[in-house]
Amino acid sequence: MTKEKEPQNEKKRTQEPLIIGIGASAGGVEALQQFFSCMPNHSGLSFVVVQHLSPNYKSLMADILGKHTEMAVIQAANEMQVEADTVYLIPPKKFMTIQDGKLILADYAAGSLNHPIDMFFTSLAKEKREHAIVAVLSGTGSDGTNGVKAVKEYGGLVIAQDPDTAKFDGMPKSVIQTGLADFILSPEEAADEILNFSQTPLLLRTPRIDGPADEEAIFSEEETLSHIYIILKNASGIDFTYYKRSTILRRIERRMLVTHTATLAEFARLLGNNNDEVNILIKEILIGVTNFFRDAPFFEKLKYNAIYKIIERTREDEPIRVWSVGCSTGEEAYSIAILFQEALEELQVKRDIKIFATDVDSRAIEQASKGIYSENIIDDITPDRLSRFFIKQNDQYHISKQIRRMIVFAPHNMFSDPPFGKLDMISCRNVMIYFQPVLRRGLFAIFHSALKNNGYLFLGKSETASEYANLFKPICGPEKIYLHKGEGKVEDLTPPTFNIPNIQAISMRSSYSMGSPQEDRNKEIAYTKFLEAFLPASVVLDENDCVVHFFGNYADYFTLAPGKATLNFFSMLNKDLTLVASTALSRCHVEKIPVTYTDIAVDCPSGRKIIDLMVQPIPAAPGEESTLTAVLFLERRHPETEGITEKYEIDATAARRIADLEREFQVSQRDLRATIQRLETVNGELQAANEELLTANEELQSSTEELQSVNEELYTVNTEHQLKLDELTMMTNDLSNFLSSTMIGILFVDSKLNIRKFTEYVGREFQLMEHDIGRPIQIFAHSFPDEEIERDANTVLKDLVSIDREVTALNGRCYTLRIAPYRTTENSIRGLVITIIDSLGTAPKNK
């Protein structure tokens, strides 16, 4: 049944239109115009544009974009089906997501961060997975960055606008800084790449075997893929052979599309010649997307069902050890540390918490160790935790020192580096989903050996330990929290072999069970005691000639001197052996071979002895330099050994030692002279730099004084402007009061006879209202039917000669009409002043 459904689902997916999510904010209108001007009208694609809009703003984006594309541009409605060759716009005051090919709208949540682009991108990633395409264009802030992380987690394509082409580069730069952008392009170039992506068929398919040619193609692709694995391993030290094949192929296919390579063999050649592309592919495969308190209910269960119990059962002087596996950029490790801190405060106890946070990606570890995150984290962290455990600086949040001290970050490959031990808890979330079963078995074996009995294992919501129920008992099944049973055994559960420098480990475990760490320690102690008892008197020295181990009966050759305790070899050595031992050690260090002196007379507490003294370097691991040296005191003649063997003669040995010391003294003198010369050179450079700094300081002081002077001038000018403004305000108030209180009607018009201002008295005669300002006087009726005021006004504008005469209104009242030019202080004409004065004592004619 499953095999029949998969092709149908794939066919359905290919028939659905590709949906391109576009995020934009300030300056985004111009970028969108450029993008859609280059996008064909019948590409078969769907576009969803998500902008930051003011809640009360009526967007005209549909009209604006409609002039640059013939595609339908419409504002989205709830549950609207997404169709091809259509542009959908987010409405104001709404969040928008996509589900089952339909756009879902929701109102803003009060108090939440307004990041509609993040919300839509995340839903598009879950809906379309590797077929999701998003572009982040001009805008301020960081909206879109978290959404881009989700898109990359599901294998989608991410495009960021080239900051040099954006009016506001905040949003594109925020995406670029994550290192997740597949392309950094101008809007026009982005349109071309999206078309290329939509029109390119799947590059990596599993061919059906219909004949020898198909078998040959499969073999060739497998061989090429193996070659790519080798290139990646040489660059990163990571063997990706047993990572999920589908994930690897998707990442490779995506890079083939980005680099425009047509075949897998061509891409393999590109990797062989381009180290940067190798590093990008490694980063793509190791894509680590995480958040604070991801799946928040899971972390709350972890706090009360695991962390509380760990703290309660642990003594105050006993450390609590936690391993965060695959921590990426650190959010998960910090989340666990915050939970521990909260639990300690709630229980009012003190414990030493040590969280080991590791990841194979050293760049992610470097970022995590800084503990600095963008403002996007407020979507994932409650305001209380944000205020208690973070410090805001500008637009970033810094983790508090109290939490940072709990965590040790380190690069670590869990399959080749030794694991941590005696752990109270392991958190390994969303890591095993990328592994094939063979790697998952190895990982569970590591967890079994690293966890204490009754330790806790915390997995991701898509992972399970049910296959190993004898080892891990679920205590919160839905939340993936398991209790470790240390006595449990599974026959096929064997941890991988780890690379431990300078130690050759012998595995004492059978194929059916694993010895406990305590048994291994007991065997090591037994071996050491055996060697210490039966080896000849000998010591092991480090590079500073300090004893790190004693073997055999060494009491005749070493005595502890009174005073401050020391393990220096020559401070404890018998005086009769000082000269020969120092000579032998010097020759051994220089020539890197064993040196033996024979027939040495030594006065010991047990009597006079004739011995041989052998000094030889202890071999180190391949590729490393030896730092340890063995010194043996041989009381019986031994067969000839490698290296230098000489009979001890005090005069010859003393002469050799003096020559060695003189040579060392000369070398030291040369080194000292060279050091003095370098110090003199550096001192001269420092003096020159100091003079430059003094000069720069003087220039800065001068600039500061100039800025202070300019500031004072600006303050003076500002004061003058304020005074002028006060005068203008008073004059405006006076004029307004004069015009409103006088019985004279005054009408101001510009040179085109458009109304500029009028008094209430004249408004009654011309039927004017406040909103008529700016409209031409010609369209208004007035109370003087016998007068042609418009003609008179044009005459005055032409001749610049005022007109005065008596006029009679419809009601029979007589007025004095005056039309005069409006002159500015520069004596330029800017319109007319029309005044109407009621002639006192004149009665209407109809009375």
Query: How far is residue 158's CA from residue 151's CA, in Å, rounded to a whole number?
Result: 7
User: Residue holding tokens 């997307």?
Assistant: 289
Distance CA 307, CA 211 (A): 59
Sign of the C-alpha dihedral computed for residues 423, 424, 426 and 427 taken in this order: negative
Q: What angle do CA 259, 260, 261 make, to 5 degrees?
A: 95
Q: Is the dihedral of CA 234, 235, 237, 243 positive or negative?
A: negative
CA–CA distance from 545 to each of 567, 627, 630 (Å)? 9, 10, 10
Give the CA-trace dihedral at 562, 568, 571, 577, to 10 degrees: 150
Give the alpha-carbon dihedral of 731, 737, 743, 744, to 10 degrees: 30
Q: In what order do the strands lie in the sheet with 390-393?
A: 372-374, 396-399, 390-393
Which residues belong to the active site? 25, 52, 143
CB-CB neighbours of 468 under 10 Å: 20
The interaxial angle of helices 650-741 and 578-591, nearest 10 deg, is: 60
- Which residue from 840, 838, 839, 835 is spatially nearest to 759, judged by alpha carbons? 835
Residue 557 burial class via C-beta count within 10 angstroms: exposed 0-12, middle 13-18, buried 19 and up:
buried
Q: Say whether 141 sits in a helix, a strand or coil.
A: coil
Helix (H, G, I), strand (E, B) or coil at 710: helix
Half-sphere exposure of 309 (CA within 13 A, CB side): 13
At 511, list the tokens: 């194929």
Alpha carbon separation from 778 to 358, 625, 762, 781, 792 (Å, rounded): 83, 102, 15, 8, 12
* Alpha-carbon distance values, 594 to 293, 641, 649 (Å): 59, 8, 18
User: Which residues is 474 bridged to in the sheet?
Assistant: 482
The answer to whether 222 and 269 are in contact (CB under 8 A) is: no
Beta strands in 724-791 (DSSP E): 745-749, 755-758
- Cβ–Cβ contacts within 10 Å for residue 11, how many? 9
The Cα–Cα gap between 648 and 612 comes to 9
Distance of alpha carbon 33 from alpha carbon 23, whole angstroms: 14
Cα gap 567→113, rounded to integer Å: 63
Distance CA 528, CA 655 (A): 40
The amino acid at 622: P
d(CA 241, CA 231) in angstroms, rounded, equals: 12
